[in-house]
Each structure stands twice: as structure tokens, then as C-alpha cells.
Amino acid sequence: MISFKLNKLNFLTIFLENRPLNSFYSSITNVFSGQVEFRNVSTTRSNPKNITIVKDVPEYLDAQINEDSGWKIRKLKTFKGSLINLNNYKDETDYLSKTFSSSRRSKFRTNQKRLEKCFNISYKTYYGDIDKEEYESLFDKFLEFINRRFDQKQLINDDLVRWKVYRDIAYPLILSKEACLFVIYDGDKPISISFNPIHGKTIFGYIRGYDIDYGKFYLGFTDIIVQLQWCFENNFTTFDLLKGEYEYKSQWTDTQYYFEKHLIFNSSLLLTALRARLIIFKIKTMYLLIDLLKKWNFHIVLGNIRSYLRRPKMDTKNTISKVEIRIDNDPEPSKTCNGIIMDISDSSIAHIRMHIYNFLYQNQESINNIVVLSLLDPPNSFLIKGIKNSQKITVN
């Protein structure tokens, strides 16, 4: 006698990471582009007593099965996702003008222009080709960005649980043009990295990281604009930012959708059909309760409690926020004469690098035109000398 089995699968893992999609689905169609993303004439059938639950299926990817011999699919809405429907715009300029006010667009331009004025900036998209050694170096830096950012926020990043998976799958996906890596460089140094899987004409915003020393320049906004430009140039129809209630997603996306859970079962077997109905009832009840709690903002309270309880122990020796910094703009020249010229990339001044970059932003100075001195008196003090302005930094 064959016993009942409940199979649980993650759609995004299968669809974007494991490829090819060899399953019970007969077809998957993107409703925005009309493109058939997947077709399988010989769908795989499990034991009719078994029930399969597939989670995290974006509802705009219309998945179908061959409903023969009693097989059924029930689609249940779960959490919300968000995306940009690129079909609604001519290019990234048209998108920005229809999405943001003129003052906001001006701010974006200012941030990008200052970034490019202050540093030796270049943009590169790895799509179809990347040197393995360069790939490994980028992912080392990528992990460093994410760790530093979450240390700064004193939070734990759940994505890091799957970091080895991401690192293993990204390289072959990039080579086969099933993913891309967007990188912003300062000289030969990466300062922002985004890894995005691709399926058909849809690009998925998976993981992002940036060097927090450049935080004043709002790299995240410039990164998205550069990605959108590339998407339009390469005729993509959808930029999916997936799940997560983040402020930047509500600002940048124009379409909300639901993720679905798919229950696939054989309704011709009475016991299997009853089990399926019970599971459907449980899932519906759970998400109705979640929606109710969200109306009371309970998810925010719960999230804050969860973040506090899971807050990692911080290494105070390496935490910039624990260091007291005093800034003195335009100090008296007589008090800043004696000092040793420092290389800005020197690790010994890593704890003030963010403040050096902030000085560049505020004064619109190029990094090529400034000098950083380690002052002899008082100790633990530094002088940034630009063409027009100077600034003294004292570390206590």
C-alpha cells in the first residue's frame, strides 16, 4: 500500500535557480508580455494519492496543468509582490517623468552627477560573459557589502542563509544569459553590486549590496536607474522586485500582484480530495489572519520584536557607529600644519573614509584633488584639504 505524501516546493527556486523547469506544469505564460515562459508536452505526474504544494508563484505567471484523469490545481493568494511594467514606458526617462516629481528627478540627477564628479565612476553589466576569477572577487566584495550594511543596522540578513547557493548558481546563469550582475565601479573598485536572475523578458531583483562609505551619494537610486536603462535597451517587459515591504519598492514600482500557493492534487480519489480541501482551508484561514493582523500593524510590532531578539552581538572594535567623530569645517591653518599624507585606500583610515566621502559630496570635490593628512597634534585627528575647502576630523 502506497502512503500519502505531501510534497512542498518553492517555485522561484525551481523557475529561476535550478532550471530547466521539468515538472507537472504544462505551460507558464507571462500575462504582461503574452510570452509563453515554459511549455511541457509530457508533464510529470506524481502518485495520485500525493498532494503537491508550490509556494511563491507570481500570479502574473499563469501556470497551468493538464487537468486530465482528475488532476486539479487550486491557486491561493498569499503575500504581495511588486514590479515595474516596462511596457508602460518608452525608456527610463519616460518612466522617471511619469513616476516621480520634477524635484525628485532633479535629486536623482544631482546624486549621480556628484558621484561621477567626485569619483572615477563606471558602470558594467555582466551578461553572457564574466571571468571566473573576477566573478569570485566580486562575490567576495558583495558579501562584505551586505555584512557591513547589516552590521551597521544591527540586523541579521536572512538571505545570507542561502549565500552559498546564490554564489554557486550565479556564475553559470550569467554565462547562459539567465542572470546578470550589475556593478558600479570607482576606478577598479566595485562599490555597488546587484544580482538579478532573468527568465524570458522578465528580470528579477534578487540581491543588492553597496559600500556604505558611499552612502551620502544614494547609490541605490543610481543603481536602479542604470538597471532600468539596460532593461529598456534590451527590450525587457517586466522588472520584478518580488516580496518585501520596503519604502523604495513602493516608490519605484507601478504594479502590485499577489504571490500564490498552488495545490496540485487528484480529485478523483476521495481521501486525497478531502485532504486537499482541509489544506486549502488551513492556508486560507492563515492568510486571512495575517491580513487582519496587518490592518492592526501587528506585523510591524512583531517585526521589531523579532529584529531586536535576533540582533547580533556587535564587535565594538569594528563598529563605526561606536566611534565618536568630531567635525571641524574650515579649521585654522596654523593648527593643521604638521601631518603625514595618507593614502585614502589605506586600511588604517577606514574608520573615517565615510566622512572623507561625505566631504567630497558636500563640497563637490573630486577625490583626485584632495589630500588627507594624519595630524601629529592632536593625535587621532585628520585634515582633508580640497581645492576650496578643508575639514578636520577628530576621532575620540
For 60-69, write each residue's pLDDT tens digit: 999 998 887 8
State the pLDDT at residue 324. 79
State the pLDDT at residue 107. 96
Q: What are phi and psi of 25, to 5 degrees?
A: -70, 140
In a domain, 390, yes or no: yes
| 109 and 205 share one domain | yes
| 111 and 195 share one domain | yes
| b (16+ CB within 10 A) / e for 89-126 | beebeebbeebeeeeeeeebeebbebbeebbebebebb
| 92 and 223 share one domain | yes
In a domain, 54, yes or no: yes
Give the CATH number, domain containing residue 171: 3.40.630.30
Which residues, listed in sequence order, are joined to residue 64 by a DSSP beta bridge? Answer: 27
Write out the residue range of the structural domain in which residue 54 sits.
6-81+256-298
Cis peptide before 378 (omega within 30 of 0): yes
**Cα gap 141→210, rounded to integer Å:** 9
| 95 and 223 share one domain | yes
Comparing 122 with 312, the larger pLDDT belongs to 122
In a domain, 304, yes or no: no
Asked if the model's pLDDT at residue 54 lies above 90, the reply is: yes
| 109 and 244 share one domain | yes
| 127 and 238 share one domain | yes
State the pLDDT at residue 344. 92
| 57 and 169 share one domain | no
**Cα gap 174→156, rounded to integer Å:** 28
* Long-range pairs, 184-188, Cβ under 8 A, ≥24: 184/121, 184/122, 184/123, 184/210, 184/219, 184/222, 184/223, 184/226, 185/121, 185/122, 185/123, 185/124, 186/119, 186/120, 186/121, 186/214, 187/119, 187/120
In a domain, 372, yes or no: yes
Q: How confident is the model at residue 279 (pLDDT cuts 50, 70, 90)?
A: very high
| 209 and 333 share one domain | no
Q: In 10 A of CB 333, how many CB atoms?
A: 10
| 165 and 261 share one domain | no
Range name among 117-126, 204-213, 239-248, 318-327 with the lowest pLDDT average? 318-327
Chain segment 163-192, per-residue pLDDT in tens: 999 999 999 999 999 999 999 999 999 999
- 3-state SS, residue 125: strand
Asked if the model's pLDDT at residue 305 lies above 60, the reply is: no
Asked if the model's pLDDT at residue 302 lies above 80, the reply is: no
Three-state helix/strand/coil letters over 239-271: EEEECCCCHHHHHHCCEEEEEEEEEEEECCCHH
Here the cell at position 15 is 523557475
In a domain, 211, yes or no: yes
| 110 and 243 share one domain | yes
Chain segment 139-159, per-residue pLDDT in tens: 999 999 998 887 776 656 666
Q: What are phi and psi of 191, to 5 degrees?
A: -125, -10
In a domain, 308, yes or no: no
How high is the mean pLDDT of the chain? 87
Residue type, 34: G
**Cα gap 331→338, rounded to integer Å:** 13
| 192 and 224 share one domain | yes
Q: How many domains does the chain divide into?
A: 3
In a domain, 314, yes or no: no
Here the cell at position 200 is 524570458
State the pLDDT at residue 248. 78
Average pLDDT over residues 255-277: 93
Is the whole model's pTM more than 0.85, yes or no?
A: yes
Whether the Cβ atoms of residue 383 and residue 390 lie closer than 8 Å to each other: yes
State the pLDDT at residue 32. 87
Chain segment 343-386, per-residue pLDDT in tens: 999 999 999 999 999 999 999 999 999 999 998 878 889 999 99
State the pLDDT at residue 314. 47
Average pLDDT over residues 217-233: 96
| 175 and 110 share one domain | yes
CA nearest 124: which of 183, 173, 208?
A: 183
**Cα gap 350→395, rounded to integer Å:** 12
Orientation of helix 132-153 relative to helix 163-175, angle to 10°: 140
Chain segment 1-35, per-residue pLDDT in tens: 456 789 999 999 999 998 766 677 889 999 988 88
Q: What is the percentage of the chain residues whose pLDDT exceeds 90?
A: 65
In a domain, 307, yes or no: no
Q: How confident is the model at residue 294 (pLDDT cuts 50, 70, 90)?
A: confident
State the pLDDT at residue 157. 67
Range name among 12-26, 44-58, 206-220, 235-249 with the lowest pLDDT average? 12-26
CA nearest 19: which of 197, 182, 224?
A: 197
The residue behind cell 519604502 is 247
